[in-house]
């Protein structure tokens, strides 16, 4: 009898979380082995591990408590990876040497599987003078490009490229360039970007007053606050970024405001963190805690919730001691404050099971009640741990209890903290749970609504064929199991049918009892008016949210998976073989003559230039790359240029979409440093070669433009139903990407750049 509620759940476990040896043979024979591995590893730090291993196993069993994917995949494996999901890095100094030292730290962190957040507000604006050098500063955006290039070269934990968050204050002189940066589809593709919005700025927006752009205490320019706000809103309306972080509210409500200042968040925004802060995440699965689902006595089991939270807090506190850290500064920060981020998943499913419509006033009331109970249980457990093991080292009772988020906490909880202290400085957060929610039987993700009640997923088989399988929401499947073919009640709703203000209402209800923040996407219809769109952000601010992220499908952002409420009407995929690109299984023979071009590449600091020749095959009147030669008088380059030309030529001769060659070369990062070429920072000589190839492919009509794909790609037209702008998953190729909790996530394989 399998523990998995759906085939996709077992596939996610096998692909992402199941421990295997170096040869790919399973070490975890069953999911019970995975739970036992995690429980044993996290109990090992206890004085008496055995009873706690049993307690932890019981919490993990049947997907009741879901540690973040890093913990599930890494705990008990002896692999050199961190169990922490994401980090905010140190404050970037306004000096070239300091900037590149922080770049090195970022690379080391991402190499171990951590996503990172950075505040670039400390870097002087473009055009500002640089003392001692006859030059002007290039500004924070130019260094973000360097970070972006570095990120493309790092594979997190051997499987996933790292995610990054960049923030910039709303009063930085380069804020307008920052707002517009993602309008270029080829730029900052590995970054989420958010504006740090202050309370004075929001008051100036409402008053339509002036707003000063300042650096190092000097006013550089003055703009109208409302104009700047509208610019943020227009960018977000058009291409889904930047997000908005209400940074003053975050700092005012921070339990640790007495000893830290926050200026950045992790990639999905649910963890505002100080320099070198780390986020440790886990989620209580509310969908597993409803008694008598869909019955007259349907309710959340409060006692079971209290017990589960207590086990989860102890387990997560142990992760602080069990985990590796990429940098010593991160280890010291984690030990000093012992932050954890306990959240929920399956909220929408739980609401459906108790007969309440997501987004309604009653749903908001229940959400607040449930989150209050979780916060109360978490703080009481952490206080009990402090009595047993000691409070976090920077604990100061008077200052801690005077903090913003403790103001409305129950008095008995405050009394316990004053008497015994508290083990963990912050305890609650609502993290992205897209992949672990699939793992747990396709429960609704985080505090998001159900995305789709059911959809059809195409599965690639080993023989190359594709089969279809239905993926059903956990609560919908439970309804089917209990009620058969009876139609779903009216209180079953999905993300496509909700008003954006319903989303805001739910986020605000949960935020009251979350001491960190919440990762959530407010889905907006494509035809929402611009003024109504702006109202969403203002409502989020007025109702106490700490940030706001929206998603409006359009031609720039692409469309998410189109779904129907019946699986029979869900989108299908078809294979096209026509078009300008020839897809072949065997390489073509070389004709006696080919058309081509030769390009000269002079790399700064190199004595001899490189000469790059690209020859093209002409088929049906269209040119496509067939071979490449790289020549130089510099014998130091001989071996790798020969290897490069042979490998790239072999790829070219196989046909198909070879644009990835450009992307991979442009992503190569030289740790010795890149160079500025024609006004752009190029991270390595190989990246420069990639740029030459890209220019050739654009000139011959093979590529549509810089940073873009094929000019005509038959495989881009695979949606038989729904918008043609749907985007393919970069991991499995399925056209089943959807925006969840601020990150595009594949519902077919669980891929997400944010974890």
3-state secondary structure of 65: strand
Query: Is the predicted pLDDT of residue 709 greater than 60, yes or no?
Result: no
CA distance 551 to 192: 13
268 is catalytic: yes
513: confidence class by pLDDT, cuts 50, 70, 90: very high
Rg (CA), the chain: 26
Which of 710, 553, 754, 542 lies closest to 622, judged by CA? 710
- C-alpha 652/C-alpha 646 separation (Å) is 10
% helix, strand, coil for the chain, step of 5: 40, 20, 40
- Report pLDDT for 749: 66
Please tell me the distance from the alpha carbon of residue 539 to that of residue 531, in angstroms, as a whole number: 12
**Alpha carbon of residue 127 to chain centroid:** 32
Position 668 scores a pLDDT of 80
Check residue 36 and give its pLDDT: 98
Residue ranges of domains in the chain:
1-25+37-135+156-163+245-532, 595-715
Summary mean pLDDT of the chain: 86
Summarize the confidence of residues 474-493 as an average pLDDT. Answer: 95
Residue 354 has what pLDDT? Answer: 98
| Average pLDDT for 310-329 | 95
pLDDT at 703: 81
**Secondary structure E strands in 198-273:** 210-215, 218-224, 243-246, 264-265, 272-273
**Which residue's entry shows tokens 């008497």?**
419
Task: For residue range 169-193, list pLDDT tens digits in order.
Answer: 999 999 999 999 998 877 888 899 9
Please pick, among 266, 285, 442, 615, the residue that the annotation labels catalytic: 266
Tell me if residue 296 is catalytic. Answer: no
Which residues 6+ apart lie within 8 Å of 592 measured at CB?
none
* Most confident of the ranges 86-95, 622-631, 720-729: 86-95
342-362 pLDDT, tens digit per residue, is 999 999 999 999 999 999 999
Count of CB atoms within 10 A of residue 93's CB?
13
pLDDT of residue 202: 98
Q: What is the pLDDT of residue 674?
A: 78
Q: For residue 642, what pLDDT is reported?
A: 83
Strands (E), 179-251: 191-197, 210-215, 218-224, 243-246
Sorting pLDDT into bands at 50, 70 and 90, what band is 479? Answer: very high
For residues 119-143, give the mean pLDDT. 86
Catalytic residue of the set 53, 55, 260, 270: 270
State how far the alpha carbon of 88 is from the alpha carbons of 109, 165, 273, in Å.
10, 9, 6
Neighbours of 474 (CB within 10 A): 27
- Say if domain 1-25+37-135+156-163+245-532 classifies as CATH 3.20.70.20: yes
Q: Identify the pLDDT of residue 646.
A: 85
When mean pLDDT is compared across 228-237, 511-520, 685-694, the lowest value belongs to 685-694
Over 80: is that where the pLDDT of 414 sits? yes
DSSP string, 401-421: HTSGGGTTS-HHHHHHHHHH-
In the predicted model, is pLDDT for residue 407 greater than 60?
A: yes
Asked whether the beta carbons of 619 and 627 are under 8 A apart, the reply is no
Specify the pLDDT at position 620.
60
Does residue 567 carry a pLDDT above 50? no
Band the pLDDT of 735: cuts 50, 70, 90. Answer: low
Catalytic residue among 268, 545, 548, 749: 268
Residue 744 confidence class, pLDDT cut points 50, 70, 90: confident
- Statement: residue 717 has pLDDT above 60: no
How far apart CA 431 and CA 285 sit, in angstroms, is: 12
Question: pLDDT category, 653, cuts 50, 70, 90?
Answer: confident
| Residue 520 pLDDT exceeds 70 | yes
Is 746 considered catalytic here? no
- Judged against a pLDDT cut of 80, whether residue 52 lies above it is answered with yes
């Amino acid at each position: 009898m399998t523990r998995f509620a759906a085939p996709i759940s077992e596939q996610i476990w096998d692909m992402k979380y199941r421990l295997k040896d170096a040869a790919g043979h399973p070490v975890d024979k069953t999911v019970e082995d995975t739970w036992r591995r995690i429980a044993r590893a996290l109990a090992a730090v206890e004085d008496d591990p055995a009873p706690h291993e049993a307690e932890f196993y019981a919490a993990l069993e049947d997907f009741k408590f879901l540690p973040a994917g890093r913990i599930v995949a890494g705990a008990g494996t002896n692999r050199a990876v961190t169990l922490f999901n994401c980090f905010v890095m140190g404050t970037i100094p306004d000096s070239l040497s300091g900037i590149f030292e922080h770049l090195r730290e970022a690379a080391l962190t991402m190499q171990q599987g951590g996503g990172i957040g950075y505040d670039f507000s400390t870097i002087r604006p473009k055009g500002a003078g640089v003392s001692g050098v006859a030059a002007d500063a290039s500004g924070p955006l130019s260094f973000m490009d360097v970070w972006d290039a570095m990120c493309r070269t790092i594979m997190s934990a051997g499987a996933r490229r790292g995610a990054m968050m960049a923030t910039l204050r709303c009063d930085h002189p380069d804020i307008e360039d920052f707002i517009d940066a993602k309008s270029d589809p080829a730029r900052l593709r590995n970054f989420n970007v958010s504006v740090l919005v202050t309370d004075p700025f929001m008051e100036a927006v409402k008053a339509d007053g002036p707003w000063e752009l300042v650096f190092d205490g000097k006013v550089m320019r003055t703009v109208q606050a409302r104009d700047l706000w509208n610019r943020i809103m227009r960018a977000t309306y058009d291409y889904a970024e930047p997000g908005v972080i209400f940074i003053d509210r975050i700092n005012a409500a921070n339990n640790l405001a007495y000893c830290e200042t926050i200026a950045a968040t992790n990639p999905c925004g649910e963890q505002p963190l100080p320099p070198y802060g780390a986020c440790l995440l886990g989620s209580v699965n509310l969908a597993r805690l409803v008694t008598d689902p869909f019955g007259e006595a349907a309710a959340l089991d409060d006692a079971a919730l209290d017990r589960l939270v207590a086990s989860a807090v102890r387990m997560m506190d142990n992760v602080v001691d069990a985990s590796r850290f990429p940098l010593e500064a991160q280890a010291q920060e984690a030990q000093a404050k012992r932050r954890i981020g306990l959240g929920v998943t399956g909220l929408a499913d739980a609401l459906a099971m108790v007969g309440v419509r997501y987004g309604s006033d009653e749903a908001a009331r229940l959400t607040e009640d449930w989150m209050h109970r979780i916060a109360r249980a978490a703080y009481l457990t952490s206080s009990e741990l402090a009595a047993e093991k000691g409070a976090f080292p920077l604990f100061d009772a008077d200052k801690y209890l005077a903090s913003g988020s403790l103001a409305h906490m129950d008095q008995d909880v405050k009394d316990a903290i004053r008497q015994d202290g508290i083990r963990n400085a912050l305890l609650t957060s609502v993290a992205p749970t897209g992949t672990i929610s699939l793992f747990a039987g396709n429960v609704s993700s985080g505090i998001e609504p159900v995305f789709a009640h059911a959809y059809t997923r195409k599965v690639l088989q080993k023989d190359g064929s594709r089969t279809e399988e239905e993926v059903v929401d956990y609560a919908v499947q439970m309804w089917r199991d209990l009620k058969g073919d009876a139609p779903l009640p009216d209180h079953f709703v999905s993300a496509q049918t909700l008003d954006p203000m319903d989303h805001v209402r739910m986020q605000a209800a949960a935020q009251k009892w979350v001491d960190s923040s919440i990762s959530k996407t407010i889905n907006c219809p494509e035809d929402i008016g611009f003024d109504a769109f702006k109202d969403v952000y203002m409502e989020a601010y007025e109702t106490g949210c700490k940030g706001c992220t929206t998603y409006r499908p359009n031609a720039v952002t692409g469309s998410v998976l189109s779904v129907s409420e019946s699986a029979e009407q869900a989108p299908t995929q078809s294979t096209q073989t026509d078009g300008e690109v020839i897809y072949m299984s065997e390489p073509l023979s070389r004709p006696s003559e080919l058309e081509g071009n030769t390009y000269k590449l002079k790399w700064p600091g190199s004595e001899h230039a490189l000469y790059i020749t690209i020859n093209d095959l002409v088929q049906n009147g269209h040119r496509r790359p067939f071979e490449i030669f790289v020549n130089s008088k510099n014998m130091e380059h001989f071996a790798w240029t020969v290897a490069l030309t042979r490998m790239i030529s072999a790829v070219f001769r196989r046909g198909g979409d070879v644009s990835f060659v450009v992307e991979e070369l442009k992503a190569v990062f030289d740790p010795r440093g890149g160079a500025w070429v024609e006004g752009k920072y190029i991270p390595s000589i190989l990246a420069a070669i990639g740029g030459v190839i890209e220019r050739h492919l654009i000139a011959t009509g093979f590529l549509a433009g810089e940073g873009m794909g094929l000019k005509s790609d038959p495989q881009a037209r695979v949606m038989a139903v729904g918008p043609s702008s749907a985007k393919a998953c970069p991991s499995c190729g399925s056209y089943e990407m959807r925006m969840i909790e601020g990150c595009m996530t594949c519902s077919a394989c669980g891929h997400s750049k944010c974890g």
